[in-house]
Structure 1
Amino acid sequence: MNKLGKSLPPLASLLPFEAAARLLSFSRAAEELNLTQAAVSRQIRALEDDLGIALFQRRNRAVFLTDAGRELNLTLGNALRDVASTSDRLRGVAGKNEVVLLCQPCEAFHWLMPRLSNFHQQYPEIELKMVTWANPLTDFQGYFDVAMQSSNRDHGLHPLLFTAADEVFPVCSPAYANGRTLPIALDGLHGHTLLHHDAQPVYQLEWDTWLARFGVDVPRQARGLAFDSYSLMLHAAVEGHGLAMGWRRTSQRMLDSGVLIAPFSQSVHLDNALSVYRRHGQARREEAGLLVAWLKAELG
């Protein structure tokens, strides 16, 4: 008797459910899966009917997971990631002398790119493939050997290998600072434009949380500009549009070249700012081990 087949819900409904649960939107799930919203809604309704319980609360064109929906989403997400990992390994996504590094766009562009030649000189036999991903590691469905992301982001079951420190402080262009009293006082931000990085989840320190470390609130009178890209926010700072929250690792080259300056005397040190992970379920590969050792030395 096929007990597994009798226990499993309709398999065609699992991917629509996973996408809708991850995106909290039937329409966005339909767009991602190249289906109609009605088709996604039907599949999820069939899944709920099969289980005999509501998985979503539907309110005013918005959907939210119920407790049962969250439980199923956690189990299903882990199972699908395991299947994807095994499938990628069987496909041989990363061959011998190849290694895939997944990292956030800001670290890839501002920190990793200037160091790539160092890696290639040290390991000329290894082909390093870079993949950038702006969302938390748990949302990534592709293949990687090693991943690097901000420590406050969800990493699921992917094992943590090590963390690295960083320093956070405001930056601006010399032109923006021209004619202003330096260093800028923490309580003197009223007439300034604050540049914000609008990321989900938010970075460990943004203007509000950085100022809170010193017992100061963001002034209501301060103007603000928001960007969905850290690199774009830094470019706006270089162009003189305001004050940005800079991270030492990703802004150091611009500070060294003089296109950015640090106009405050205060900074915040984070012991565990950046984290490096190994792919869950991945067999240990020599190429990946060499990359991890290199990253640890460079980040140290």
Structure 2
Amino acid sequence: MNKLGKSLPPLASLLPFEAAARLLSFSRAADELHLTQAAVSRQIRALEDSLGIRLFQRRNRGVFLTDAGREFSLTLGNALREVASTADRLRGVAGKNEVVLLCQPCEAFHWLMPRLSNFHQQYPHIELKMVTWTAPLTEFQGYFDVAMQSSNRDHGLHPLLFSATDEVFPVCSPGYLRGRTAVGLDELSGHTLLHHDALPVYQLEWDTWLATFGAEVPPGARRRSFDTYALMLHAAVEGHGLAMGWRRTSQRMLDNGVLLAPFSQSVHLCEALSVYRRDGQAPREEANRLIEWLRVELT
């Protein structure tokens, strides 16, 4: 027995309902879908009859969603966006004059956003779309043209284009140190260490960073953990402890004085951030321009 077929409402009614719910207008939905207003109204009435409940309140000057209509609109909208995303991924195409960059949230916010105006000035005809993702590239199921992620994370069959260097060192807010400006490796037992817990782990966390200098995380150090690097960095800005900072994503905050680097030690990574092209993607001029721009900016 096909239970799914028995539960689903008339499929032809779903797009008219989604458009009418989003636009709060049957006539505007009709224009968008190239239908008549009567056809949209008829499809929505069929949907309401199938569900046995009213989805719109019809008034003289317009239509308004009922509580049930809002609930169904949210569910349907999410489902249709997921279908569209999968379809785009399977098609392997992007829109004309459009390029999609997949990157980690912290790089997007702290490194890429301040540079976007530069990209748009150089390539005003290209629409750059950013998609953020915290897991390794192999787990992303949506569409992208170019991806940027930490170098030690799995990238599967997506070909590596180039890698960039970075520098890693602890950071904290000036207020956390209460007037001090320096901390020694032998003083960590009295501090709170902020950790970024991720699977797989990033290249350097407190244990691996300290091991570079022949030191260990002291048992007396307090620990606070965060599931994203961006959240951990924000906790450092708010004075909750010492965080492991990366130069590219913390430099502006260091320049602005909201963070400081209290240790004399730092670790230089030759391959810290890597840029990939989508596997199987035919060469696109928009993607090539983005890759060239990233190569220059990351140098």
**Fold agreement, TM-score > 0.5:** yes
* Structure-2 residue corresponding to 1:277: 276
- In the alignment, structure 1 residue 87 sits paired with structure 2 residue 90: yes
User: Could you tell me how far 1:188 is from its partner in structure 2?
Assistant: 1.2
* Structure-2 residue corresponding to 1:166: 166
* Structure-2 residue corresponding to 1:141: 141
Q: Structure 2: how far apart are the matches of 1:96 and 1:263?
A: 48
Q: Structure 1: how far apart are the matches of 2:127 and 2:195?
A: 36
Please give the residue correspondences for 1:120-269 in structure 2 after superposition, counting only pairs within 5 Å: 120-180=120-180, 182-269=181-268
- In the alignment, structure 1 residue 299 sits paired with structure 2 residue 295: no
Normalising to structure 1: TM-score of the pair?
0.69
Taking structure 1 as reference, are residues 295 and 190 closer, same or farther at Cα in structure 2, changes over 3 Å only? same
Q: Structure 2: how far apart are the matches of 1:85 and 1:297?
A: 29
User: Could you tell me how far 1:230 is from its partner in structure 2?
Assistant: 0.9
Is the contact made by 1:192 and 1:222 (CA closer than 8 Å) also made in structure 2? Answer: yes
* Structure-2 residue corresponding to 1:63: none
Q: Structure 2: how far apart are the matches of 1:189 and 1:87?
A: 51
Is the contact made by 1:185 and 1:264 (CA closer than 8 Å) also made in structure 2? Answer: yes
User: Could you tell me how far 1:84 is from its partner in structure 2?
Assistant: 7.7
Aligned with 2:188: secondary structure?
coil
User: Could you tell me how far 1:231 is from its partner in structure 2?
Assistant: 1.1
User: Could you tell me how far 1:88 is from its partner in structure 2?
Assistant: 2.3
User: Could you tell me how far 1:233 is from its partner in structure 2?
Assistant: 0.8
Q: Structure 2: how far apart are the matches of 1:183 and 1:214?
A: 17
Is the contact made by 2:192 and 2:242 (CA closer than 8 Å) also made in structure 1? Answer: yes
What percent identity do the matched residue pairs reach? 79
Normalising to structure 2: TM-score of the pair?
0.70
Aligned with 1:187: secondary structure?
helix
* Structure-1 residue corresponding to 2:16: none
User: Could you tell me how far 1:87 is from its partner in structure 2?
Assistant: 2.2
The residue type paired with residue 137 of structure 2 is L
User: Could you tell me how far 1:85 is from its partner in structure 2?
Assistant: 8.2
User: Could you tell me how far 1:167 is from its partner in structure 2?
Assistant: 0.2
Deviations 1:151-195 (A, max 9, x none): 000000000000000000000000111244x42111210100000
* Structure-2 residue corresponding to 1:109: 109
* Structure-2 residue corresponding to 1:96: 96
Structure 1 segments, 4+ long, off by >2 Å, are 83-89
Q: Structure 1: how far apart are the matches of 2:240 and 2:224?
A: 9
Aligned with 2:190: secondary structure?
coil
Is the contact made by 1:88 and 1:143 (CA closer than 8 Å) also made in structure 2? Answer: no
Aligned with 1:273: secondary structure?
strand
Is the contact made by 2:136 and 2:153 (CA closer than 8 Å) also made in structure 1? Answer: yes
User: Could you tell me how far 1:86 is from its partner in structure 2?
Assistant: 7.2
User: Could you tell me how far 1:286 is from its partner in structure 2?
Assistant: 0.6
Is the contact made by 1:84 and 1:141 (CA closer than 8 Å) also made in structure 2? Answer: no
Q: Structure 1: how far apart are the matches of 2:251 and 2:169?
A: 11
**Greater C-alpha Rg:** 2
User: Could you tell me how far 1:235 is from its partner in structure 2?
Assistant: 1.0
Q: Structure 2: how far apart are the matches of 1:169 and 1:141?
A: 33
Is the contact made by 1:100 and 1:144 (CA closer than 8 Å) also made in structure 2? Answer: yes
Is the contact made by 2:89 and 2:141 (CA closer than 8 Å) also made in structure 1? Answer: no
Instruction: Identify unmatched segments of 5+ residues in structure 2.
Output: 1-85
Is the contact made by 1:85 and 1:282 (CA closer than 8 Å) also made in structure 2? Answer: no
Aligned with 2:189: secondary structure?
coil
